[in-house]
A = this chain, B = another copy of it.
């Protein structure tokens, strides 16, 4: 068995959806797949055994946070991330670039790489395409990403082009050194190009033709309207090689997951399901509900009647409501388990539909039943989240850069 492989098991004849199988040194992943985010070598409030139980087959960890604390060298000394965090399934690490660029004033970009100040102690670090390969080798994930430039939204066309071109040059530099480190790690390329259709097509073509094991699409879901996100994918997907897995970085919500699959994406990571859970937002087939709402106070049934997660099998919605209202730690776990299970069940339903040739109908029914959180609710949750960050800062806690990506 090769350390990394990807096969396509079924393709939707009407959409760009595919069902595939990825093989990695730590296990097999059936796609489309959602991967929870374990920023600091832990998926917040959930144990590795619980991740396995809800059907998680791959998680994402953030290089930026781990290189600063506890340090990639320490993790390497402990046998890599898998051993360190007691997770024996596949792991994907990002390059740290996204977090560095989110920090704005704390970083300085050059052709060499990205210099930044640690949010923890102000120490100065330089990420280069080469150093990122060393760091990710130390972390030891199954799938790794190269340093790239993630443009902001909106972005001037010149800046968009420069960022993309540098991303391509960095991709080449990354490929040039990659095999100095752990050859069993699969390196994905990252498509950029901001919100310029022409740049997106070009970047997909360039990155798609480099010898990467898979393709990640970056720089999306950074605040642009949904229509723009989908438009970009419509330009990107046709340029990508069919035989490589495609990872849409930082997406998403249940509805975005289903839509993006129909646009040809196979892999998804996002902190949203666990973050909104911690703020009371739990997924149901009809949309996101707020478990702290008064109507759940006396609800005898589970959060969702059809749900097979540990939370729904064992607790009334009223009890989960009570834990959420009293801000009990068990709530964060129960809510996160529910939302992660929801995403994994959705992923396997989507896969089954693709294999059965019924994906378009599945998608349409799902999207008709599922009402996305209204923009005002999202805005409110974004505000709550910002307030929590400010409060943490006021308490002298480390700045929670760990979740820079805005909740949506």
CB of A307 to closest CB in B, whole Å: 16
Given the known interface contacts A322-B69, A391-B395, the answer about A329 and B44 at a Cβ–Cβ threshold of 8 Å is yes
Q: Which of A90-129 contact B (CB under 8 A)?
A: none
**Stoichiometry, copies per complex:** 2
Whether B326 contacts A84 by the Cβ 8 Å rule is: no
B-side contacts of A47, CB under 8 Å: 330, 333
CB of A215 to closest CB in B, whole Å: 31
Whether B333 contacts A332 by the Cβ 8 Å rule is: no
Given the known interface contacts A319-B85, A322-B69, A391-B395, the answer about A78 and B300 at a Cβ–Cβ threshold of 8 Å is yes
Q: Which residue of B lies closest to A323 (CB)?
A: B42
Q: Which residue of B lies closest to A69 (CB)?
A: B326
CB of A209 to closest CB in B, whole Å: 40
A328 at the interface (CB under 8 A from B): yes
Q: Which residue of B lies closest to A319 (CB)?
A: B84
B-side contacts of A358, CB under 8 Å: none
A325 at the interface (CB under 8 A from B): yes
A198 at the interface (CB under 8 A from B): no
Q: Could you tell me the distance between the alpha carbons of A325 and B394 in the complex, rounded to whole angstroms? A: 18
Q: Which of under 10, 10 to 19, 20 to 34, or 35 or more describes the interface residues of A?
A: 35 or more
B-side contacts of A314, CB under 8 Å: 86
Given the known interface contacts A316-B78, A319-B84, the answer about A44 and B330 at a Cβ–Cβ threshold of 8 Å is yes
Whether B44 contacts A315 by the Cβ 8 Å rule is: no
Q: Which of A276-324 contact B (CB under 8 A)?
A: 297-298, 300, 314-316, 318-319, 321-323
The contact string, 1 if C-beta is below 8 Å from chain B, for chain A 52-86, is 00000000000000000110001001100000111
A242 at the interface (CB under 8 A from B): no
Whether A326 contacts B40 by the Cβ 8 Å rule is: yes
B-side contacts of A333, CB under 8 Å: 45, 47, 329, 333
A169 at the interface (CB under 8 A from B): no
B-side contacts of A394, CB under 8 Å: 394
A46 at the interface (CB under 8 A from B): yes
B-side contacts of A323, CB under 8 Å: 40, 42
A180 at the interface (CB under 8 A from B): no
Whether A298 contacts B328 by the Cβ 8 Å rule is: no
Q: Could you tell me the distance between the alpha carbons of A281 and B330 in the complex, rounded to whole angstroms? A: 20
Interface of A is mostly: loop
Whether B42 contacts A84 by the Cβ 8 Å rule is: no
Whether A397 contacts B329 by the Cβ 8 Å rule is: no
B-side contacts of A321, CB under 8 Å: 70
Whether B329 contacts A86 by the Cβ 8 Å rule is: no
Whether B330 contacts A70 by the Cβ 8 Å rule is: no
CB of A196 to closest CB in B, whole Å: 38
Whether B329 contacts A41 by the Cβ 8 Å rule is: no
Given the known interface contacts A74-B297, A297-B74, A298-B77, the answer about A45 and B329 at a Cβ–Cβ threshold of 8 Å is yes
A327 at the interface (CB under 8 A from B): yes
Q: Could you tell me the distance between the alpha carbons of A120 and B85 in the complex, rounded to whole angstroms? A: 39
Whether A328 contacts B42 by the Cβ 8 Å rule is: yes
Q: Which residue of B lies closest to A85 (CB)?
A: B319
The contact string, 1 if C-beta is below 8 Å from chain B, for chain A 230-271, is 000000000000000000000000000000000000000000
Q: Could you tell me the distance between the alpha carbons of A77 and B69 in the complex, rounded to whole angstroms? A: 48
Given the known interface contacts A47-B333, A319-B85, A333-B333, the answer about A297 and B328 at a Cβ–Cβ threshold of 8 Å is no
B-side contacts of A44, CB under 8 Å: 328-330
Whether B298 contacts A86 by the Cβ 8 Å rule is: no
Apart from A44-B329, A70-B322, A84-B319: 12 A-B pairs, beta carbons within 8 A = A40-B326, A42-B328, A44-B330, A45-B330, A69-B322, A70-B318, A84-B318, A84-B322, A86-B319, A326-B398, A327-B398, A333-B333
Q: Which residues of A contact B (CB under 8 A)?
A: 40-42, 44-47, 69-70, 74, 77-78, 84-86, 297-298, 300, 314-316, 318-319, 321-323, 325-330, 332-333, 391, 394-395, 397-398
